[in-house]
Amino acid sequence: MKRRHFLKHALFTSTAMLGVPAVDAKRRPHVVVIGGGFGGAMAAKYLRIYSQGQIDVTLIEQHKAFVSCPMSNLVLVGLKPLSYCTQQYDQLARRWGVRILNQHAIKIQAASSRVTLADTSEISYDRLIVSPGVDLQWNLIEGMDHPDAHDVVIDAWQNGADSARLRDQIQALRPGGVVAICIPLAPYRCPSAPYERASLIAWYLQKYKPGATVHVYDANQEITTEKKLYQRFWQQHYKDVLFYHPQNALMGVDIEQKKMHFEFEDAVADVLNIIPPMRAGRIAIDAGLATANGKWCEVDFLNFESVATKNIHILGDSIQIAPLMPKSGHMAAQHGRTCAYAICHNLLNMKAAIAPVYANTCFSFVAQTHAMHVASVHHYSEANKTMEPVKGAGGVSAAPSRDEVPLAFAWADAIWADIFR
């Protein structure tokens, strides 16, 4: 492999970076990445690989470590420790020469090609990659402005540490207690994850909390993915534990009474796992990149450049998705790799056709011993200028099975390694 060779030579030139404007046309190009998740960290690493060290990369990430959302539902029910989902950024720095800034980016100044950090320092870029995940719209749920709201209600939808907090709530559940999961209208991050979560919590309650139940209040008309597989498994295994209520959008919540208000009914629960409506990450919204309904960022799928602002690329859950493209970590990583490839072509003046083809696999556990998947392959359509699923490819499991459990773990190990090591 070429990359061992490239590392010996990887030198980081810092003078052209922090706050210093472009002073020399021949300096190396500098790409700044906001957000070190599946999309951003993948883009940072692959910019270094594809450019063979010719592009300097700075990754701005406010958390010291990465905690994966995929697989984190296993943490909620005690099947894995939080450390299992945790990855470090040190290999990206040491092995691949990515400069990691453990900072919070607060503002994009597109006109001067700079990013402002929380400590008021600025960093300039030739290209900016924005991969901020999602902004949870708590303001759309009445009552969530209560001072104790986020001690009572835990989403565990973007912050790894929250998975441990929600786990503790579930483990402390009283006999016969009730767990509620509220699902927002699609599109939301990770289509299958709420149903996986419901399944695993049902599995846990059945095993450890006799008489306890989990109620799923779904704003959508029906289960949004792998519907038949979930329905069948729930009917066979969780009939007395898991109750599914479609077309129930959460309007408000009474924090003190732990009561949820839906359009036509109210319900109380001991554990309120509310997954709120979501939109593109805040920094992308504030920069005017959310061109689709003010919620999601439209991009050119050949390079993930914003349709609104030149030299700014957006990845992952923040984008306005292409047809049948899930908002998933796996997909975000493919965005990151494609974007890195396209930026290398552009900045290093390399001419080659970019014809992205990528696969997505989302594994879901329905019990400790059973997992299933939905898979798809997507390719670029010149005619429609978007990524489209390849006809005849992809699909779902015939049924959840024991055989898919080791596959799910192998997938996680491989994709985390691909991004972080």
Partner 1 sequence: MRQWQKLGISLTFFFQINTGWSQSTPIDSAQFLAGACISCHALDKMQTSVIPSLVGMPAASILSDMLDYANDQRDGLLMPQIAKGYTREQMEMIANYFSSLDAF
Residues at the site binding partner 1, with contacts judged by CB under 8 A = 1, 4, 9-11, 13, 15-16, 23-24, 26-28, 46, 50, 52-54, 330, 333-334, 337, 341, 344-345, 348-350, 352-355, 357-359, 361, 373, 375-379, 390, 392-395, 397, 401, 403-404, 406-407, 410-411, 413-415, 417-418, 421
Choose among 375, 332, 313, 277: nearest CA to 69: 332
Nearer to partner 1, 185 or 410 (CB): 410
Q: Shortest approach of partner 1 to residue 320 CB, angstroms?
A: 22
With respect to partner 1, which residue has the nearer C-beta, 52 or 86? 52
Report the phi/psi class of residue 207: left, alpha or beta, with left for phi > 0 and alpha for psi in -120 to 50. alpha
Q: In the structure encoding, which two tokens stand for residue 149, read together?
A: 């709201």
The residue among 52 and 311 lying less far from partner 1, judged by its C-beta, is 52
CB of residue 62 to partner 1, shortest distance in Å: 25
Q: Which is closer to partner 1, CB of 353 or CB of 383?
A: 353
Smallest separation (angstroms) from partner 1 to the CB of 375 = 5
Q: What is the DSSP string of 279-327?
A: EE-HHHHHTT---BTTTBB-EETTTTEESSSTTEEE-GGGB-PPTT---
Whether residue 191 is preceded by a cis peptide bond, meaning omega within 30 degrees of 0, is: no
- Residues sharing a CB contact under 8 Å with residue 147, sequence separation 6 or more, in sequence order: none
Give the shortest CB-384-to-partner 1 separation in angstroms.
17
Is the distance from CB of 318 to CB of 337 less than 8 angstroms?
A: no
Nearer to partner 1, 185 or 350 (CB): 350
Nearest partner of 377 among 388, 362, 369, 367, judged by Cα = 388
Nearer of residues 172 and 354 to partner 1, judged by Cβ: 354
Beta-strand (E) ranges in 26-117?
Answer: 30-34, 56-60, 65-67, 86-88, 99-101, 105-109, 114-117
- Please report where in the chains the tokens 């909620």 appear, as a residue: 76
> Min. distance of Cβ 238 from partner 1 in angstroms?
23
Residue with smaller CB distance to partner 1, 279 or 330: 330
| Residue 111 vs 355, nearer CB to partner 1 | 355
Structure tokens at 153: 């209600």
- Tell me the three-class secondary structure of 340-364, residue by residue: HHHHHHHHCCCCCCCCCEEEEEEEE
Shortest spacing between CB 146 and partner 1, in angstroms: 41
Query: SS3 of 203, please?
Result: helix
Min. distance of Cβ 231 from partner 1 in angstroms?
A: 21
- Give CA torsion, residues 409, 414, 417, 419, to 10 deg: -110
* Least distance in angstroms from the C-beta of 387 to partner 1: 12
